[in-house]
Structure 1
Amino acid sequence: MMLGEQLVTRLEYMHSKHFIHRDIKPDNFLVGRGPRANLIYVIDFGLSKRYRNPKTRLHQPYREGKNLTGTPRYASINNHLGVEQSRRDDMESVGYVLAYFSRGSLPWQGLKANTKKQKYQKIMEKKMGVSIGVLCKDCPIELKKFLDYCRSLRFEDKPNYPYLKALFRDAIDSGKYGDSSKGFDWMRLHSKKLEETETAKLDVEEAADPDFAEFT
């Protein structure tokens, strides 16, 4: 939920500058260090593109027959269908990333084909054939609502960023998905592992030196 809220915030800012990312995937997120360990950074803008003119604010025209741009696993359905990308596609890709983290894998992973084109076709067919309800069956209900909303957007629609952020924020504040004050799940796991390592180290030192405990 924390990840979802931050990703929506990052894309809201990017979209406000008239650009779409077009390659939302886990590899393009970085986690801060030290006091910024709870911050997510978005990187790799090599496929980014202006979706509207910054002066006239006119949206780019709707087009079809485009090649798939980005990473097929997280690509929006319209991207697969050859439709020009817009803000809605970035948001839908966020939904697939969150589903991936929540589930551990996506239904269209591992599909075999003789060519890339055939593989992309299989991914698209599987993605279109799996309902959001099935995709999000064991995921937080907020993720289903998120994807339902993103898939309902029209080409030029501006996503309702406050609504999407509130979905995740309300879930975070409810506490039903854990204690957010302790940071991301991986941070809690990392801290636990460090504690276990330190405890094991002390046990080894104590076993090697019977007098060790007297001075600790």
Structure 2
Amino acid sequence: MRLVESEKPADVVHAGAACLGQMLGGFAWVRSRQSLERRAARRREVIGLMKSKYNRAGQLIEFMAEQLAVFDDDLGAWRRANPDLTVRRPESVEAIVCASSFLDMSSEYFVVLTRPEQRLAKLEQFADHLHETALPWFAWSADPERLVSAAPDAVLSPWGFAQDLMELLVSADRTAEACALWTRVLNLNSKHQQAFATGQAMAEAGERPRWHTAEAIGWSASVLDLL
């Protein structure tokens, strides 16, 4: 088995990541992007991995789950077809739904594969942990019925993904849910009302704020009034 027989850290990480994807169910290891990815129709769920810079054969071999992200090609197509309903964003994140640092979600974000005889067991333990933490994080964003109440507070911060999630709901003809999400964002971020108001004023003036800002959230809230 390559996972046990490999000696070079890069080979161990490659084999370990591929095995981890199988354990999680449906995730494929994309080495060029250093990520585990699962596709369902036009939706892509991503677990970004990062190997330790201290990896040395026989001394230390480990990698960590660094980031979780969701992309939706239908959402990306909606944004291209409705430029007046979304702010400009980099093309690389045109289909972004949301993302979060896994390092902020769990203290158990890495797996050590130094000793060959322990590698499989260590991976199984890590897979169990990801089943409990990462996979539920993906699940809420796939269900419009749950999204408004289940989205973690962290992704609804002024510099988070509230705007992107509101657009996901609008693109799926879930305007009522998008409005409910906006109400939740307001309640969570009472200190940023002025920035939201600035974004709303920009919308009225035909201006566009930068993506990933508090102003962009307020701007999107004004767009909801037009629907």
Using structure 2 for the length normalisation, give the TM-score.
0.26
Larger Rg: 1
Q: Work out which structure has the larger RCO, using CA pairs closer than 8 Å and 6 or more positions apart in sequence.
A: 1
Structure with more of its chain in strand, by fraction: 2
